[in-house]
Chains A and B, each alone.
Chain A
Amino acid sequence: MSLATATRDKAPEESVAARVRSTLEAVFDAVSATRADTTALLARVAATGRRPATVDLAALRPGLHGRLARDALVSGVGFVAAPGLLSDVPAWLEWWQTGSDGDVRPLLLDLDPEHSAYADYTHWDWFALPRDTGERAVAGPYVDYLCSDEYSLTLSAPVLVEGRFAGVAAADVYLRHFEAAVMPMLRRLPGPARLVNARGRVAASTDPRHLVGSLSKGPDFGRVLATGRPTQADGGIRLMPCDGVPLVLVSTGQE
């Protein structure tokens, strides 16, 4: 009885926001597990008094492959080393992806600045945000022309060794998969709705006037996320933060 009352009192937007959050929390679980494995591995190597090398990171592979197999939303997962961390190469991504045929493959990048204009990956949001804030982050939606050539969200978290930044653990979610996961929830709302990031970029939408990838201008979505409270904006628009992940549910009520 009390449960029924609680459900009725909860705004439908609130329950959609909660489910979007739990969808992404499942992906963050893969990031956290990668971070835990990497942190333990780097600590083990440090205990032997030497610097880690690419060969050491091979120990992460069974865990990474397992995560790709377990979560259908995760299309790429791995550890991206901070430049200078490894003794044998200047920079490295221990990164694994599921191909269109379902095969699991390593990402092999040319990270030699003499050959590649894409050798420096430290400016990408998925690397820079966790490094600069020390917090986990959601980057995107963005076109990932470094790793997958897909329109993506990348969830990442900093890896620290003895308090020092050593790189990021991260997982890729392709937007088309994210859309498939959240659309049934958005469709349950009485009017058009969309999910936008802190900068107003649309990540999923049931509103043909606001397509995925476009910018929603007007409200300060960053502030809504910072306060964590639902807000009413001009034009009967309701803004509901997906508490814990940096997305805001924008809904317009009954049409």
Chain B
Amino acid sequence: MSKVVAVKQQQMNGGARKAVFAPVDSRARVDAVVRRIGDAIELGLLADGEQLPGETDLAGQLGVSTVTLREALMALRQQGLVTTRRGRGGGSFVSLPEVPGEERLKVRLRGWSTEELRDLGDHWAALSGTAARLAADRTEPDDLVQLRRTAEELAQAADAAARSRVYGRFHVELAAAAQSARLTREQVALQTEVGALLCLVLGDDEYREEVSERLRFVISAVQDGAHELAREQAERCVRQSTSRLIALRLTL
């Protein structure tokens, strides 16, 4: 009996199942690797001149085939972010080209479609909005000290990269204030994707002021236990950042 049901279900879901088990788009994988390593270089996580692990090791760590990795390294070489030297002591090395950081970041932003950016923003708003709502229920004054410190640090941070790091930390801390390890892990992963791109919009002093102000609103709503307002403020903050990125993407 249950076997019949199972077979029937399989027939019904045949199309969807085929899609599930279809080969993963290898182009998308190359792009994902390029983004990951490129972002790490832009954010300074990988230093100029640093040697990357060997191809087999790196492919294994990233969970992609060596072919995919080679294609990604080729794209990174074309962007001037990696140089490869052959022979003894050879390998792939991080190299920051002379082109200003902003130009390189714009090249990275061009790698995102507006649909992908919109979707990234939706995911981010879902995480931060929910985190803010839960935090409003689950925090007491001592938990907010860290968020306040971060909002102040953002108001002081001089360069765009520092602003982007601190802004990302605010969202991670908000998820932690919600007492959710899962939301926090998701937010950490999301910030590694969006962090480099946000450098492009946070360099603008006026927008930085606006963000600092917005973060203070989120903190006040969380402190007042106003969970719906906290969610709304956090979502609005994320939506503004995403809109700015999309607007910039449309000019490229």
Using a CB–CB cutoff of 8 Å, the interface residues on chain A facing chain B are 110, 114-118, 123, 141-143, 145, 149-151, 199-201, 213-215
Contact = CB atoms under 8 A, between A and B. Distances in A.
Contact of A149 (B139, B179, B181): B181
B169 interface: yes
Given A118-B169, A123-B145, A142-B176, 17 more contacts: A116-B165, A117-B168, A142-B179, A143-B180, A143-B181, A145-B172, A145-B185, A149-B181, A149-B188, A150-B181, A151-B179, A151-B181, A200-B140, A213-B138, A213-B180, A215-B139, A215-B140
Interface of B: 43-45, 137-140, 142, 145-146, 149, 165-166, 168-169, 172, 175-176, 179-181, 184-185, 188
A118 B169 CA distance: 8
Contacts of A141: 179
Task: Give the interface SS of chain A, mostly helix, strand, loop or mixed.
Answer: loop
A142 B169 CA distance: 16
A224 B79 CA distance: 62
B180 A114 contact: no
B142 A213 contact: no
A143 to B, nearest CB: 4
Nearest to A112: B44
B140 A117 contact: no
11 contacts: A114-B44, A115-B45, A118-B169, A141-B179, A142-B179, A143-B179, A145-B175, A149-B184, A149-B185, A151-B181, A213-B138
Nearest to B168: A117
A143 B175 contact: yes
A123 B176 CA distance: 15
Nearest to B150: A117
Contacts of A213: 138, 179-180
Given A110-B45, A115-B44, A117-B165, A214 B185 contact: no
Contacts of A116: 165
A215 B138 contact: yes
A213 B149 CA distance: 23
A92 B114 CA distance: 42
A200 B168 CA distance: 29
Contacts of B176: 142-143, 145
Given A141-B179, A149-B188, A214 B138 contact: yes
B60 to A, nearest CB: 16
Contacts of B137: 214-215
Contacts of A215: 137-140
Contacts of A145: 172, 175-176, 184-185, 188
A91 to B, nearest CB: 17
Contacts of B169: 117-118
A152 to B, nearest CB: 9
A116 B165 CA distance: 7
Nearest to B185: A149
A137 to B, nearest CB: 14
B39 to A, nearest CB: 13
A79 B179 CA distance: 25
Contacts of A115: 43-45
Given A110-B45, A115-B44, A142-B176, A199 B181 contact: no
A149 B184 CA distance: 8
A202 to B, nearest CB: 10
A168 B184 CA distance: 25
A17 to B, nearest CB: 23
Given A143-B175, A143-B180, A145-B172, A117 B185 contact: no
Contacts of A199: 140, 142
A143 B139 CA distance: 13
A143 B184 CA distance: 8
